Amino acid sequence: MTAKPAKKGQNWIFWLIVAVGTLPMVAAWYFYSHPDLLTKRGNEGNLITPPVPIDYDVFKPVSHRAVSPSRNIKGRWVMIHVIPGECDRACKENIANTRKLLLLFSKDLFRVKRLAIWSQDVTLPEETLAMLAKDETLYLAQAPSSFLKMLESDIIQAPLRGDQLILMDPLGNLMMWYDSGFDPYGVYRDMRRLLRASRIG
């Protein structure tokens, strides 16, 4: 007796087995060659690696609203606005956006704080100070110019702008930053994941 030739309809089974065996290896190689794809899908912001620990005492209270690290921002997730000198339209929109985001955290509202800082060597216009002081959920502080220079050179690696944002974790580590033109709801999505994963703050 002669063996019957395999039916053409069964060829797809062979190719399915080949695909199941090779596709994972191809995908692994592709993502290994393009790690930025995984990072971008995970976070909207730019991770600071390694995170930069800071001393809360670097934030000096201003007369409009004192920043008491032990009572107000220490041990919390903090969205930091850096005001390089003047708060232009983009800067004001940035601050308004994080104020709106704060309302979305509902039961986790107490875990998230907002902080605006500027250099001790800079005197902000009275109009800007008045605008900042009206925001009841925004803490205000000054910092040494060396601290702002560190942010510029070591973290953002570009000139500081008023429409950027830096995220600090409850342990006082600068761990993520957002460049000009970032999506505010991208910040919200990142922080929701962080709040779910974190047992502190």
Domain identity same for 25 and 122: no
Query: What is the domain count for the chain?
Result: 2
- Please tell me whether residues 16 and 79 are part of one structural domain: no
Q: Are 32 and 81 in the same domain? A: no
Residues 63 and 23 in one domain: no
Are residues 188 and 128 part of one domain? Answer: yes
30 and 49 belong to one structural domain: no
pTM metric for this prediction: 0.77
Same domain, 188 and 160: yes
| Residues 29 and 75 grouped into a single domain | no
Domain match, 176 and 89 both:
yes
In a domain, 135, yes or no: yes
| 24 in Cβ contact with 17 (< 8 Å) | no
Instruction: Sort 9 into a burial class: Cβ within 10 Å, 0-12 / 13-18 / 19+.
Output: exposed
Would 165 be classed as within a structural domain? yes
* Alpha-carbon dihedral sign for residues 126, 131, 134, 139: negative
pLDDT digits (tens, 9 = 90+) for 68-119: 665 789 999 999 999 988 899 999 999 999 999 998 998 899 999 999 999 9
Check whether residue 25 and residue 51 sit in a common domain. Answer: no
| 1 lies in some domain | no
Give the model's pLDDT for residue 31. 45
CB 119 within 8 A of CB 144: yes
2 within a domain of the structure (yes/no): no
CATH, residue 100? 3.40.30.10
Using one digit for the tens of pLDDT, what is the confidence trace for 26-82?
A: 555 544 454 444 444 456 899 999 999 999 999 988 865 566 665 789 999 999 999
Query: Taking a C-beta distance cutoff of 8 angstroms, is the pair 46, 177 a contact?
Result: yes
Domain membership flag for residue 4? no
Residues 122 and 176 in one domain: yes
Residue 5 belongs to a domain: no
Look up the domain containing 20 and give its range. 10-38
Task: Flag whether 3 is in a domain.
Answer: no
Distance of alpha carbon 102 from alpha carbon 165, whole angstroms: 14
Q: Are residues 95 and 171 in the same domain?
A: yes
